[in-house]
């Protein structure tokens, strides 16, 4: 399917690996020029070079921590008048409700709520003025059904979801859509580190931990970054202009609900 976005420009934050990279590659495949970001310059350069070579689009690399004001400024300077924004950042660490203090919440809110809001606030005016724009925020299945050990993530992402619910209705009249993509378990470094925690706690192998987790997913496997990226590219496409303020689960059926 021609996504109708060839020649547009997208910012994808936290995109040298994993789900962010999946989104960047899917947009590049649709002919979109990119601003890519991650803290580690080397992995970012490798990912960007592969995209240039595979898809022939322009890629600007911005090595920076997107959760800091300086990192956001650097990314936004490179972004210019971008038509598409995909927000992403690392997830907060797991723990128990009794572990977290004010500072832990501030850090999680900064990374997973206030950073995407700052990027939207900076780029939405241009999108609205031009009458076309797409924003996709990578959040988590924990927005729909809590993952108890991820209390910091549950809290921060719920806040972002509330913001998007209202804001998406305010910018829709100008041809701009904002939606959230909610990943379930995908085969990325993040999933490896969660599985490693299970291995260490229970004295089982990585294979056993992965098989056990995959067994809880109706699709009986982990998702791939490529298929997650395809869902993102569709939401950023010309065809998705009537999809506003939605929270789309990409989780192999793992979240057990009717609606
Ligand atoms: P990942 O494989 O660990 O990749 C994270 C990417 O983000 C890397 O490119 C990393 O590069 C970059 N990054 C992390 N923190 C950053 C920061 N502060 N500033 C700029 N770049 C940063 O993670 P993932 O699995 O793709 O997960 C992406 C998001 O989806 C996370 O928020 C995660 O919690 C959420 N999620 C993932 C899953 C899953 O199963 N994978 C499920 C639900 C939710 P650098 O380290 O070099 O910065």
The pLDDT tens digits for 205-258 are 999 999 999 999 999 999 999 999 999 999 999 999 999 999 999 999 999 999
Does residue 126 share a domain with residue 104? yes
Does residue 199 share a domain with residue 88? no
Supply the DSSP symbol for 223. B
Cα 209 to the chain's mean position, in Å?
A: 25
* Shortest-distance atom of ligand 1 to CA 189: 2
**Which residues are CB-contacts of 209 (< 8 A; sequence separation ≥ 6)?**
195, 196, 198, 199, 202
Does residue 210 share a domain with residue 238? no
CA 129 to ligand 1 center in whole angstroms: 31
Does residue 209 share a domain with residue 179? no
Q: Which residues line ligand 1 (CB under 6 A)?
A: 14-20, 37-40, 43, 65-67, 88-91, 138, 140, 183, 185-186, 188-191
What does the alpha-carbon distance between residue 77 and residue 5 come to, in Å, rounded to a whole number?
22
**3 within a domain of the structure (yes/no):** no
Does residue 38 share a domain with residue 20? yes
Lookup result for tokens 């010309």? 238
Three-state SS at 34: strand
At residue 18, what are phi and psi to the nearest 5 degrees? 60, -140
CA 38 to ligand 1 center in whole angstroms: 9
| Neighbour order of strands in the sheet with 33-38 | 59-63, 33-38, 9-12, 84-87, 133-138, 176-183, 247-250
Average pLDDT (194-200) is 89
What does the alpha-carbon distance between residue 53 and residue 73 come to, in Å, rounded to a whole number?
28
What does the alpha-carbon distance between residue 93 and residue 246 come to, in Å, rounded to a whole number?
26
DSSP output for 94-115: P--GGG--HHHHHHHHIIIIIH
Does residue 141 share a domain with residue 88? yes
Average pLDDT (58-70) is 98
Taking the complete model, does pTM exceed 0.85, yes or no? yes
What does the alpha-carbon distance between residue 230 and residue 25 come to, in Å, rounded to a whole number?
9
CA 90 to ligand 1 center in whole angstroms: 4
**254 within a domain of the structure (yes/no):** no
Number of Cβ within a 10 Å radius of residue 183: 26
* Structural domain count of the chain: 2
- Percent with pLDDT over 90 in the chain: 93
**4 within a domain of the structure (yes/no):** no
What does the alpha-carbon distance between residue 130 and residue 128 come to, in Å, rounded to a whole number?
5
* Shortest-distance atom of ligand 1 to CA 39: 48
* Shortest-distance atom of ligand 1 to CA 185: 40
Q: Which tens digits make up the pLDDT trace of 180-193?
A: 999 999 999 988 98
CA 75 to ligand 1 center in whole angstroms: 17
Q: Which domain covers residue 67, as residue numbers?
A: 9-184+225-249
pLDDT at 203: 92
**258 within a domain of the structure (yes/no):** no
pLDDT at 194: 83
Does residue 191 share a domain with residue 177? no
* CATH classification of the domain holding 48: 3.40.50.720
Instruction: Using the predicted structure, report yes or no on whether residue 197 has a pLDDT greater than 90.
Output: no
Does residue 198 share a domain with residue 180? no
pLDDT at 84: 99
Does residue 94 share a domain with residue 136? yes
**2 within a domain of the structure (yes/no):** no
Q: Which tens digits make up the pLDDT trace of 148-173?
A: 999 999 999 999 999 999 999 999 99
Give 196 or 44, the one with higher predicted confidence: 44
Does residue 133 share a domain with residue 162? yes
Does residue 157 share a domain with residue 109? yes
Average pLDDT (2-6) is 98
Phi-psi region of 232 (alpha: psi -120 to 50; beta: other; left: phi over 0): alpha
DSSP H helices in 133-205? 151-171, 189-202
Nearest CA to ligand 1 atom 8: 17
Does residue 167 share a domain with residue 103? yes
**54 within a domain of the structure (yes/no):** yes
Using DSSP bridges, classify how beta strands 84-87 and 133-138 pair: parallel, antiparallel or unpaired: parallel
CA 189 to ligand 1 center in whole angstroms: 8
Q: Which tens digits make up the pLDDT trace of 69-97?
A: 999 999 999 999 999 999 999 999 989 99
Q: Which tens digits make up the pLDDT trace of 110-140?
A: 999 999 999 999 999 999 999 999 999 999 9
């Amino acid at each position: 399917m021609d996504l109708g976005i060839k020649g547009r420009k997208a910012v994808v934050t936290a995109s040298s690996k994993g789900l962010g990279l999946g989104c960047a590659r899917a947009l590049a495949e649709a002919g979109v020029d990119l601003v890519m970001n991650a803290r580690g310059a080397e992995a970012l350069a490798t990912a960007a070079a592969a995209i240039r070579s595979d898809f022939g689009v322009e890629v600007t690399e911005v090595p920076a921590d997107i959760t800091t004001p300086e990192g956001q400024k650097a990314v936004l300077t490179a972004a210019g008048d971008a038509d598409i924004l995909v927000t992403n950042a690392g997830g907060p660490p797991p723990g128990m409700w009794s572990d977290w203090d004010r500072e832990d919440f501030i850090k999680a809110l900064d990374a997973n709520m206030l950073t995407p809001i700052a990027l939207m606030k900076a780029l939405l005016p241009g999108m609205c003025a031009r009458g076309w724009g797409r924003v996709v925020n990578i959040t988590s299945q924990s927005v729909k059904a809590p993952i108890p050990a991820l209390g910091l993530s549950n809290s921060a992402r719920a806040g972002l979801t509330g913001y998007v619910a209202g804001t998406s209705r305010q910018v829709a009249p100008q041809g701009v859509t904002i939606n959230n993509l909610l990943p379930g378990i995908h085969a990325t470094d993040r999933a490896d580190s969660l599985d490693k925690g299970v291995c260490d706690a229970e004295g089982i192998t990585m294979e056993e931990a992965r098989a056990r987790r995959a067994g809880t997913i109706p699709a009986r496997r982990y998702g791939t970054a490529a298929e997650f990226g395809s869902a993102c590219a569709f939401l950023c496409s010309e065809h998705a202009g009537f999809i506003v303020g939605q929270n789309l689960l990409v989780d192999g059926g793992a979240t057990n609900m009717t609606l």
